[in-house]
Structure 1
Amino acid sequence: MLPELSPAQEKLLINLADPEAPSDWGKDVSAGDLLALLANAEFHGVLPIVLRKFRERGDANLPKDARLPQKLTELRDQMTTATGQSMLLQYHGDRIMKALAAKGVPARIVKGPVFASRLYRQLADRPFT
């Protein structure tokens, strides 16, 4: 079950989900708050951006709670896999587009890689499947 967020936690999630917003938050955020925020970020599809901002802040600046680094390691591993999958799909998409062009078949790739490259400065902020 997805943890409910307080209005302050919702505001923080919105800030952390914005790829262009700064990655800072107050010192009064607990590990429990951040774990709830991570669960909601994953549910809403903004986890890559949130994890990047956690990394920018630095693990040493996070609340001291054994659950938080454990969860971050798990989620970062998932995002590494998702990024690798996106890279593989990009490679195969490029190959397919070149083959179609060589045969004179008009085609376009839409959504995933196009959104990632045009809407996000950091491609890893928008993995695709």
Structure 2
Amino acid sequence: MLPSLTAAEERLLLRSADPEAAPVGEDLSAKTLSALLDNAEFHGILPIMLRKLQESGDAQLPRDAGLRDRLEDLRQKATIATGQSMLLQYHGDRIMKGLAADNVPARIVKGPVFARKLYRNVADRPFTDIDILVEPANLARANRVIAACGFELGSNEAESYELQEFK
């Protein structure tokens, strides 16, 4: 169960969620920071909070060994998520170049676009997939280009055409 927050802690969480707001500089107890981290993870703002904690410096963090171990683990996972996002961006770019070369109109939407356009630090908005919009009439051509880039359809083909969503 998600730890509940006081009104003051909710304001801290909201400030932590704002990528442009100053890092939280207050002294926090291990219990409060742990609850904030749980809530940040649940609400998808953990990367922003971790960056801000890093910017504030570890000297201001509680001296709780368990909390510091958890922070180290979360930071490693955030680094991996950033790397995965970079790899996805690379493959998305490859696919888009292939689609353009075959004159298949397409656009990448959501994840990498949001990360690039809405966040000063792209690592604040990791993503786990690449969504490419293609007109239904061009799906077969787009799928051939994507296959030529080394990807295989991971879902049922007939169902994918019915849903117009290919994985």
Distance 2:117 2:50 in 1: 21
- Of the two, which has the highest radius of gyration? 2
Kindly report structure 1 stretches of 4+ aligned residues shifted beyond 3 Å: none
Match of 2:88 in 1: 89
Could you tell me how far 1:81 is from its partner in structure 2?
1.0
Instruction: Tell me if the contact between 1:15 and 1:21 (Cα under 8 Å) persists in the aligned partners.
Output: yes
Alignment-derived partner of residue 69 in structure 1: 68
Question: Is 2:37–2:46's contact at 8 Å kept on the other side of the alignment?
Answer: yes
Q: Which consecutive residues of structure 2, in runs of 5 or more, have no partner in the other structure?
A: 129-167
Q: Give the aligned partner of residue 2 of structure 1.
A: 2
Distance apart, 1:25 and its partner CA: 3.1
Q: SS in structure 1 opposite 2:106?
A: coil
Higher relative contact order (CA 8 A, sep 6+): 1
Query: Over residues 13-48 of structure 1, what are the superposed CA-to-partner deviations in whole Å (9 max), with x where a residue is unaligned?
Result: 000110000003322x21110000001000000000
Aligned residues: 128
Aligned AA (1:26): E
Shift of 1:60: 1.2
Contact 1:19–1:49 (CA<8 Å) still a contact in 2?
yes
Aligned counterpart, 2:11: 11
TM-score, reference length from structure 2: 0.75
**Structure with greater strand percent:** 2
User: Structure 1 stretches of 5 or more lacking a match?
Assistant: none
User: Quick one: percent identity of the two aligned structures?
Assistant: 66
Q: Distance in 1 between matches of 2:121 and 2:25?
A: 21
Contact 1:12 1:25 in 2 (8 A): no
Question: How far apart are 1:105 and its partner, in Å?
Answer: 0.4
Question: How far apart are 1:66 and its partner, in Å?
Answer: 1.0
1:116 and 1:127 in contact (8 A); partners too: yes
Give SS of 2:109's match: coil
In the alignment, the residues of structure 1 paired with residue 55 and residue 25 of structure 2 have an alpha-carbon distance, to the nearest angstrom, of: 12
Residue type of the alignment partner of 2:15? N
Q: Distance in 2 between matches of 1:24 and 1:89?
A: 31
TM-score, reference length from structure 1:
0.96
Q: Aligned-pair RMSD on alpha carbons?
A: 0.8
Confirm whether residue 20 of structure 1 aligns to residue 45 of structure 2. Answer: no
